[in-house]
Amino acid sequence: MSYRTFYVTTKNETEALKIAETLVNERLVACANLIPGMKSIYRWHGRLEHNQETILLLKTKDSEAEKVVARISELHSYTVPCIVSWEIKEANQKYLRWIDSEIGK
């Protein structure tokens, strides 16, 4: 079994909470961590932007990755949301079994 962590930036804590609660309630992710107060600097439509955002870290099984991306895209307010993930290579095995028990029920 393979597992993934998703990194998602959101416009604020309210949006992050909505996405997190939806994904956990729909059993697409086992856990969501919200990290408010991140400062982002990026170029958008030719202008340099400075914004505060909230980070979402989501843990799930690899088999749910496409569904997670699709659902975040539906819920997110950004035209081009940052939704990236990476494979969990090492982890507490009890934690991974807990993820298994929470996904897709």
- pLDDT tens per residue, range 76-99: 999 999 999 999 999 999 999 999
- Percentage, residues of the chain above pLDDT 70: 99
Tokens 């919200």, located at residue = 34
User: Helices 13-25 and 65-75: crossing angle, nearest 10°?
Assistant: 140
φ, ψ (nearest 5 deg) of residue 56: -115, 130
Q: Which residues contact 62 (CB under 8 A, 6 or more apart)?
A: 1, 2, 3, 4, 87
Q: Are 9 and 40 in contact (CB under 8 A)?
A: yes
Structural domain of 12: 3-102
**pLDDT above 80 for 105:** no
Confidence of residue 104 (pLDDT cuts 50, 70, 90): confident
Count of domains forming the chain? 1
Q: What is the mean pLDDT of the chain?
A: 96
Q: What is the pLDDT of residues 36-63, one digit of tens each?
A: 999 999 999 999 999 999 999 999 999 9
3-state SS assignment for residue 70: helix
Token pair for residue 74?
Answer: 């539906």
Mean pLDDT of 13-26: 98
* CATH number of the domain encompassing residue 32: 3.30.70.120
The dihedral over CA atoms of 61, 71, 80, 30, expressed in degrees to the nearest 10, equals -40
CA distance 1 to 34: 26
Confidence of residue 70 (pLDDT cuts 50, 70, 90): very high
Confidence of residue 4 (pLDDT cuts 50, 70, 90): very high
